[in-house]
Structure formats: structure tokens, C-alpha cells
A and B are shown apart, each in its own frame.
Chain A
Amino acid sequence: MAEAHAEQPAPIQLLDADGKLSHHPVYSTYIEQLDDAALRDLYRHMALERRFDAEATSLQRQGQLALWAPAQGQEAAQVGTIAALKPTDRVFPTYREHAMALYRGISAEELMATFRAVRHTGWDPNAYNFNNYAIVLASQTLHAAGWAMGINQDLRSGNLPRDKAADEIVLACLGDGASSQGDVHESMVFAASYQLPMLYFIQNNHWAISVPTSTQSPSPLANRATGYGFEGLRVDGNDVLASYAVAKHTAEQLRNGQGPKLIESVTYRMGAHTTADDPTKYRPSEEVEHWADRDPLTRYKTWLENESKATEEFFEQVEQEAAELAAELREAVQTMEPIDIERVFDTVYTEPHRQVQAEKAWLKDYEAGFAEEETS
């Protein structure tokens, strides 16, 4: 896969795999505006997610989660991008944006309710401006376009002042696999037609379960934007600084009303697609090693240390905090209340609905028809 990409335009990169920072006329300015505390915080969020992810994988292996979709390797892409947005911007995630969710303050318990299979979702999207995880591939890109159209309508009708609308751009997350779905095409057509304040954020992690990106498209996914009439950029998704700067710059353009944009974040999924598949069966170990050398945390840590922007004490603190987060996660998952089945029926429609009520009554009756417990 690495060979194929050699022919393609190199992704925008500020920090190389060895932790050396280069200068870019546009993007470097965004990094220069970050103070040391903000720079350290990027690392902190990446490290928290990595630990969280490992704990979640273990919990699934211990029978405590129904499923887990690991995001290891994609921390820089996610943290850099979400950090570049305002808390008022609306995020439409896939089911793998764990770093983004944690960044927005969604708790371990809220995040895990779905993976523990006790609730369809664990958080209030409006409380975090972070939509619920979308398990149905690419569906969130349509929801995002609809949301963005709503913002435009509010603008037109005068319900939303221009300056406030500028604080509410829409981030539509998707993966390389979902980029081939029809929903994405429709979403992009509408985004372009209505010049929506939408940022399509494709995390190209190289594998759509077992299908490589080279099968999805012979040309970079970023190029697809051109066909719809808007700009597409490629960024090194394992470089948190480039991810931040490019997202920040693009977001500013969107806030100025410069239509939709697309960022293809070139990264790599180090783990399985989900805990239900075995990546060693479909991808070569050399490729995994190749990307392990380009690890987003390692290169950034090297740079922070070399530039004396963080002390050993800081990294120890982060490690401690990550361990606490992992413990919180374990506790949250193991003490989670079982599903409240009535809620499933009560939240289908806002008003009582006869069919749903009848189904609810039927299930209740059916459940009541079982013995209290198995006599063994």
C-alpha cells in the first residue's frame, strides 16, 4: 500500500515520523499560535485515548463488551481535528471517533453503553454537540448535510445571526470504506449545491475491514471533492500538528462561508476493524510494521521532548491519568445497569403510538411467560 501512495501527492505534513518539524507558509502559523500547555494537551488527549482503547479491547476479550472498534493509530487524526474546532461546532461521528468523543467530555460510561449493548446510545448529542455514533456506514454524512442545511435555513430566515452561525460548522466523519457508499455521494451533492458549512473528514486508515483503500479508489480520496466542485486536502493523519493546522485553516474558511471542504487524513488502523475480526488474515505484517514506525504518539513525544515543551513529570502525569481513566472505564462497564427495555419502545416516537405500545405489551407478556430463573 505504501508503494501505491508514493505516486500520489504527498499528504501535508509538519512533523515527520522522526519528530522533525518542517515549515509551511500557511499551516505553521497555526502551530506557532499554540502555547506549550495547548501543545501538551494534544499529547495528553492522544495518550488518554490510547490507554482507553487498550482497556476497552481487554474488556471485550473478557466478555464485558459485546464489541469494540479500536482506534489505535488514529489518535493524531482525531485529536488534531477536534482540537481545531469550537465546542459549538457539530460533530457527526462514525463509531470509531473515541478520541473525539472523550475530547468533547463524553464519559467512559456514556461512550460504552452501546458497546456494552445496554442502550442504543449513551449520551445526549445536544449536550456535547456530538451526534450519536452511527453504526450504519455513511448514514451520518446525510444527517450532517441535513443539519448543515438547517443552519443555512436558520440563517436565511433570520433565526441565526451570521456571526453565530460561524460558530456552528458541521464535521462529517467517515472512513475510506464508507467513502464508496451512495449516501456519501448524495451528501456531497447537497453540500455542494447549497454551499453548506460542512467539513468532510475522511480517516483513510487503509482498510475497510479487509478491503484495502486501493480497491476503493485508484486516486486519492481527497480528489473526489473536485468532482463535486469543492476543495479536498490530504493530510498526514499521524501528524497531530498538521491535522490540527489543516483542520483549523479549513474550519476558518468554512466559518467565512466558503462552502464545504474535504480532508482526507492518511492514517492507519493498528488494530482490528472490530474485536470480531482478525487483521492478520488479510493484511501483511510488514505493512503493520511500516506504520508502527510512523506512530503518532512516538513522533510527537519526541518533538515535545526535543523542544523542551514537556518534562518527564508531565508524561508520568499523563500516564497516571490514563490509568485512572482505564480504571474508571472498567468500573463503569462492570457496574452498568442492564437495558431498560421499556425505554426502547418509549423513545421511538415523541407521542404514544399504538403499534409500538402493542409491541411493548406483547414483549412484556412474552417475558412474563418465562420462569423466574432456570432450575438446574
Chain B
Amino acid sequence: MSQTFNLPDVGEGLTEAEIVSWRVAVGDIVEVNDIVCEIETAKSLVELPIPYAGTVGELVAEEGETIEVGQPLIRISGADDDDAEQAEEKPQRGKKQEASEKKSGEKKTGAEKNGTARAAQTSEDQNQALVGSGPKADTAKARPRTRHTVPDLVETVHLPEETPAARTGFHTGDIADIVAKASPPVRALAKRLGVAVWELVGSGRNGQITRDDVERQAREKKALRESGKQPKGGVPVPGRQQSPGDVGLLYDGPREENVQVRGVRKATALNVSASASNIPHVSVFKEVDITRTMELRQALKNDPAYQGLSVSPMLFAAKAIIWAARRNPQVNATWHDTHYTLRNYVNLGIAAATPRGLVVPVVHEAHTYSTQGLAAAITQLTDDAREGRTTPGEMQGGTISITNIGPLGLDFGTPILPPGQAAIIALGAVRKKPWVVDGQVVPRGVMVVGGSFDHRLIDGDLAGAFVSDIAAVLEQPGLLLD
């Protein structure tokens, strides 16, 4: 049994280090704190002392190699004395046991009353816990989110109008009061005039609540009081229904409310406004009979190879997009003003509505997948997105995107292009419609397929050709056999 010493973060927030030189070789006997190697980080040259005693079993990294913090550096085996106990302790602590202990939240119970064993075990746990793997845990390998939490402190604060008098000091103050954008003199003024600053919408720079805002509110309140009328919404007007005490709101809540913009909502807002203002969009649509695709879909659903996979019109549309991109290369590109970049591959962005908001994970190298492989990839990505597990990396690098608005019951829409892409395809709902086939009106499964394109690069004819190619595949999926 051996102990592994992982590369620690010897600075503050370092992520990697280069092995400059080894001071020990395999077979050497080492004591705790013996220097085993010298590493160079972004900050300094550091000599690393070993936390275990025993015999050097393996030097995992080579001199000159750069390894990440938390990666194995050296293994020490055949420990003696105390360390032998530690080493023997390990086999009893198999992975399963560790996992179950972690789950139950009990790290030190049961048989582990022996102090040394406890120290050894905790040491092992903590070795993992502190700096050894810290920086990595913070980045790409963050624990997955399983659900969405209320994103901020502000949005749920509702206070009846009559409370300001009770709000005397900071300690009893409300959160919304504290985060409302008003300077201390304006807050003091508001307090004096009996105006609730958290109910105001600031007219100042960056939404700052100004003196004028407070005074105007105070004047309006005063006018209402003097006229004996209720606030605006509650002014009795013939023909308006009003129950006693009802100030005339749509639902239970404050009359106006400022909600902080954060997270996915904020990112989406930035992306779509940049895209909408920089890219001249052009949209085209085509109605298509996808009965054959729906028949094929049913066949695949019955195929055991597709067990557990989502086989939706989206899958066939994805295949169709790849097929059509091969025939219309210019849609698969990025505009740079002085030039544009043609992409000879498809990284397919899949727009997904999630509890966190709109997320567009990407199937990288989508053109290399079989139909079954693509189904698996899309299923995985959309599941991850809905459960909030999509990493930032998985949302980058898309070349063409697809958005399925059919499940929303919609027939067509004009999507906004994700930044850096020139084409996004939207799929409508599949509806049974009367359709003319061979001169006969028959019920067929019909869908609108269309999308938005970067008009700087793609004119109506190209957009039309691309959408028509996609439609052709959806109408006759046999085309994919080429």
C-alpha cells in the first residue's frame, strides 16, 4: 500500500507547477519533511517536503514536466512504524466505505477510536480537502448544481405601505432598504418625508434614486391624501370593480418592484443585445411535410439501440442541418468585417430552456456523430442543461445553432443569433394539417422550419437554399443515406 503526495498549491491560488528537479529516486528511504523535489510555480522556486515516511515507490511526474495542482507527484510505499499503521489503515477504507461515510456525513465513528487511525484518516481526507485540489474545484470541475436557488436577496421583499414608521434603524432595516440605490442624504430625506425608498424607481444615473424622486413621491402621496382618494390604481371610477381595501393590483405583491438582473438572465441579455444591435438579421421560413420523418422517428424509438434516448424532430433537424451545411458552406461561418471564417465542421448549439434561463450547450464536432451517437449527445446535453450542470466550456465554440420552439406550441419565430454564428434554425410544432399529395388532400404531419441568418454574409437566396435543404431532408429523410 502506498501514500500519494499530490501537488499542493504552495502559493495563493496557483494552478500548476513545473517539476524542476527530483532530489530523491525510486527506492530511497524518506522521512517526513525530507525535501523530495524542487518545483517552479508562477511565483517562485519552492522545495517540497514530503508529508510521509517510507520508501519512494514512484516519481509520477518527470523533471521538466508541468502538472496541475492536485495531480499525483510522488508515491511513498513500505512505510514503517506509525506510517505502517497508516498504510494498513487504508485497505479497510475502500472507496465504497469512504463514499458511504461522506454521504451519511459521519466521518469519525464506529471502529475508528484509535487515535492514530483517526489522525491518519482525517489527514487523508484533509489532504484532499484543503489546497491540494482547491483551485481545480473552483473552475471546470465545480460540483454540479442540482436545482436553482432564489438568486438574490431583493426580489421577494414586500412590505405594506404603512411600515416606514416601524423602520427605525439599520438593525431593523429591511434588506431592500439597504440595497436600494439611494445615497444616505436621500435616504434621510425619504425617512423624513415618509417615503419608502425601496418602492421607488430611480431616475438618476444607473438607476440611482434622487432627491427629486423622493420629493415627487411625497407630493403625490400628499395630494392623494388631501383629495381623500386612494393611490392611483385604487381611484374609484364608475365601471371599475373594487373590493374593500383593494388598491387595484393584478396579483398579490408590491405595485412596482425592481428585480436584480443576474446570472443566466444577465448573460442572455448581454448576448442578445450585442447580437441584435451588431448583426443585421434576416429570417426565412418554410412549411414542410415531415410525415416520413415522424415514421422514421417511430421506427427508431422501437429500436433497442435508442432505448432511453430522446428521439425528437430536433434529432433529424440536427442531421439535416449538418447535411445542408455541407452543401451551403457559407452559412457555417463567422463574420469579422474585413474577412469571414468558414468552418469546415459543425459545432451544433442546442438552445434549451432551463430553470436558470436560456442555455445553449454545444455538441462539438457534431458532423462526426452517427444518428444514434448524436441522439445520445443531444440527450446528455439537454439533460445536463436542465439540471444546471452545463459548464461554461460546453457553451462555447458553436458554429450553427438550433432552437426547438415546437414544445412551446409555437409554429414559427425569429431567433437571435448567438454571437459568432451566422445561422440559427428554429423548429415549430408538428401539426396534423390537410396537405396536397399527388393531387389529393390528405392529413399529414406538417411543421414550419426556418431561422435567422447574418445578412452581412448570407443573402435571402442562400438562406433559402439552406432552409430548403433542411426541409428536403425532413420531408425525405432517406436523403441522409448519401
Q: Which residues of A contact B (CB under 8 A)?
A: 55, 58-67, 116-117, 272, 275-278, 280-281, 330-331, 334-336, 338, 349, 351, 353-355, 358-359, 362, 365-366, 368-375
Contacts and interface: CB of A to CB of B under 8 A. Distances in A.
B49 A67 contact: no
Contact of B131 (A66, A277, A278, A373): A66
B49 A335 contact: no
A277 B43 contact: yes
A358 B175 contact: yes
A374 B145 CA distance: 10
Contact of A372 (B43, B49, B103): B103
B400 to A, nearest CB: 31
A335 B123 contact: yes
A116 B11 contact: no
Interface string B126-159: 1101111000000001011111111011000000
- Most B Cβ at <10 Å: residue of A331, A362, A366, A369: A369
Nearest to B388: A369
Contacts of B454: none
A374 B44 contact: no
A63 B144 contact: no
A197 B83 CA distance: 52
A366 B44 CA distance: 36
Contacts of B242: none
Nearest to B178: A355
A138 B6 CA distance: 37
A180 to B, nearest CB: 23
A371 B143 CA distance: 7
Given A338-B129, A355-B178, A373 B118 contact: no
- Most B Cβ at <10 Å: residue of A63, A280, A334: A63
B141 A374 contact: yes
Nearest to A279: B44
B144 A374 contact: yes
Given A61-B47, A62-B8, A369 B148 contact: yes
Given A116-B130, A117-B130, A370-B145, A275 B122 contact: no
Given A275-B11, A276-B11, A334-B122, A354 B172 contact: yes
Contact of A61 (B49, B119, B129): B49
Contacts of A353: 171
Contacts of B49: 58, 61-62
B113 interface: no
B153 A276 contact: no
A63 B150 contact: no
Interface string B9-49: 11110000000000000000000110000000001111111
Top 3 nearest A-B pairs by Cβ distance?
A63-B8, A278-B44, A334-B123
Contact of A277 (B9, B44, B174): B44
A21 B130 CA distance: 47
Nearest to A349: B171
A350 to B, nearest CB: 10
B193 interface: no
B175 A66 contact: no
B392 interface: no
Contacts of B129: 338
Contacts of B152: 362
Contact of A354 (B130, B141, B150, B174): B174
Given A63-B6, A369-B148, A355 B44 contact: no
B158 to A, nearest CB: 14
Nearest to A369: B149
23 contacts: A55-B33, A58-B51, A61-B8, A62-B48, A62-B49, A63-B6, A64-B126, A64-B130, A65-B130, A67-B12, A276-B44, A334-B126, A335-B118, A335-B126, A351-B171, A354-B172, A355-B173, A355-B178, A362-B150, A369-B145, A369-B388, A371-B144, A375-B144
A61 B146 contact: no
B143 A370 contact: yes
Given A64-B8, A272-B44, A330-B32, 12 more contacts: A63-B8, A64-B126, A65-B131, A66-B130, A276-B43, A331-B119, A338-B129, A358-B175, A362-B149, A369-B149, A369-B388, A372-B102
Given A334-B119, A335-B122, A351-B171, A359 B153 contact: yes
Interface of B: 5-6, 8-12, 32-33, 43-51, 99, 102-103, 118-119, 122-123, 126-127, 129-132, 141, 143-150, 152-153, 171-175, 178, 388
A368 B144 CA distance: 11
A58 B8 CA distance: 11
B82 to A, nearest CB: 10
A272 B126 CA distance: 25
A63 B123 contact: no
A278 B132 contact: no
Nearest to A332: B119
B44 A61 contact: no
Contacts of A276: 10-12, 43-44
B118 A365 contact: no
B99 A373 contact: yes
A276 B8 CA distance: 12
Nearest to A374: B143
A271 to B, nearest CB: 12
A64 B51 contact: yes
B5 A62 contact: yes
A369 B147 contact: yes
A324 to B, nearest CB: 14
A208 to B, nearest CB: 17
B19 to A, nearest CB: 14
Contacts of A55: 33
A47 B372 CA distance: 70
A279 to B, nearest CB: 9
Contacts of A58: 33, 49, 51
Contacts of A66: 12, 130-131
A366 B151 CA distance: 9
A14 to B, nearest CB: 35
Nearest to A331: B119
Contacts of A65: 130-131
Nearest to B157: A358
B130 A61 contact: no
A184 B148 CA distance: 48
B131 A63 contact: yes
B43 A278 contact: yes
Given A63-B6, A335-B119, A280 B45 contact: yes
A370 B122 contact: no
Given A335-B119, A354-B174, A369-B149, A63 B45 contact: no
A281 to B, nearest CB: 7
B132 A63 contact: yes
Contacts of B5: 62
Contact of B44 (A59, A281, A365): A281
B146 A370 contact: yes
B9 A354 contact: no
A365 B145 CA distance: 12
A339 to B, nearest CB: 11
A125 B178 CA distance: 32
A358 B155 CA distance: 12
Contacts of A277: 43-44
Nearest to B141: A374
Contacts of A373: 99, 102-103, 143
